Amino acid sequence: MKRADRIVVAGRVLTCAPGGAPRPGSQMDDVGEIEEGALAIIGGEIEEVAPARDLLRRWQGEVHEYLGSTVTPGLVDAHTHPIFAGSRAEEFMMRAQGATYEEIHAAGGGIASTVRATREASDEELEVRACRNLLRMLAHGTTTVEAKSGYGLETEEELRHLRILRWLGKKLPMDLVLTFLGAHAIPEEYIGRSGDFVNLVIEEMMPRVAREGLAEWVDVFCERGAFTLEESRRVLQAGLRLGFGLRIHAEEFSYLGGARMAAELGARAADHLQNLPASDFPVLRERGTIPVMTPGTSFFLGQGQYAPAREMVDADLPVGLATDFNAGSNLTSSMAMAMSLAVLRMKLTPAEALTAATVNSAWSLELGRRVGSLEAGKQADLLVLDTLDWKEWPYCYGVNLVSQVYKAGHPVLPFKPTESWA
């Protein structure tokens, strides 16, 4: 018999395989379910996934049994903003009384409010708060996180935030994929001079980020009240020249054509897309740009309009999913909540929502060869659900059914950080 470091046995295993490429909409409804399944793990990687009765005849090792539970791949959150200070709870009250996101922003709230508080925060405060945010995600089953800067909006601040995130990526049992979002909003000191700020992002911030190797991706908020289509194009083109992968916030509150533009430049992901027309679907599909849905933002902001995920899946696009955890417009740490909303409000099936939250989100970060499905040769990132009927997971919205998380083959809950970057 072969010997494994660990063997995980569960009443049900959802492999989400095959995960060797993004799963187009026509293939998203198959999660590779194995009743009474098992995984053999060596050195943090999966060696075999099979029915337990077969695998246990071939492997021996330390057995972890979850016979009344379901095991799935670790979740991949492909759009988050975890590092910030301050509170926008007052805006929550304003919104409850009818104020819109854009009205709050125009009144000096929104991103500008968080930028002011974040610039004033110490390194230690930012690290502690970001660490707390990320560990909450881990507790809900997220093992890979795309983490953006964007609440500094000046060179040294943006660099400071990315350095803290890079440190957290080394000490936490999660993979952090860093994105430079210097073009998140126009800072107060540049109101009326957005072109000058774009020049700063392109000519000073981005080269510094590239030199220090602080991010793998560059992003821009292409939206009315943020950056125009042409300004966004300039940011992404500069990112290409410096070797960054491209992402974009687009079509959230209005249609500017940002997703189409980014796809034509080769962007791997276009996010939000509440106002994306079907006429732009073919461009995303042909250029390999994965639409990443953030239904929690529509829910939290009280928007009636969600991204057309059902239509995208039916058009055979490989849809991804994310929380869009951020300081003011969506504070959920739970990818399961995003899956619930994908089913309830965007009319995906539970299987399609899980595929979006694993395989396709992994590929939107170019990590699909390593994470996002439970297959031989991939990293042993998995979670244990306290239910045999895995469809209860999105059904029980707002409830955390995750009882354990494995990162690279090691159980990591509960996790207590011991070192400090500051």
Q: What is the pLDDT of residue 90?
A: 78
Each domain of the chain, given as residue ranges in start order, spans: 2-73+373-411, 75-364
Phi, psi of 375 (to 5 degrees): -145, 155
Cα distances (angstroms) measured from residue 207 to each of 232, 243, 363: 17, 10, 26
Secondary structure class of 284 (helix, strand, coil): helix
Query: Domain 75-364 adopts which CATH fold?
Result: TIM Barrel (3.20.20)
Q: Return d(Cα 10, Cα 30) in angstroms, integer.
A: 19
In the predicted model, residues of the chain with pLDDT beneath 50 are 421-422
**Strands of the sheet with 2-14, listed across from one edge:** 45-51, 33-42, 2-14, 59-73, 382-385, 402-407, 410-411
CA angle 244, 241, 199 (to 5 degrees): 95
Q: What is the pLDDT of residue 417?
A: 77
Of the candidates 314, 256, 316, the one whose C-alpha atom is nearest the C-alpha of residue 288 is 316
Structure pTM? 0.96
What is the CATH number that goes with domain 2-73+373-411?
Answer: 2.30.40.10
Of the candidates 363, 245, 379, 252, the one whose C-alpha atom is nearest the C-alpha of residue 306 is 252
382-385 and 402-407: which strand pairing? Answer: antiparallel
- 369's CB contacts (< 8 A; 6+ apart) are 20, 378
410-411 and 402-407: which strand pairing? Answer: antiparallel
Lookup: tokens for 318: 């490989």
Q: What is the pLDDT of residue 105?
A: 66
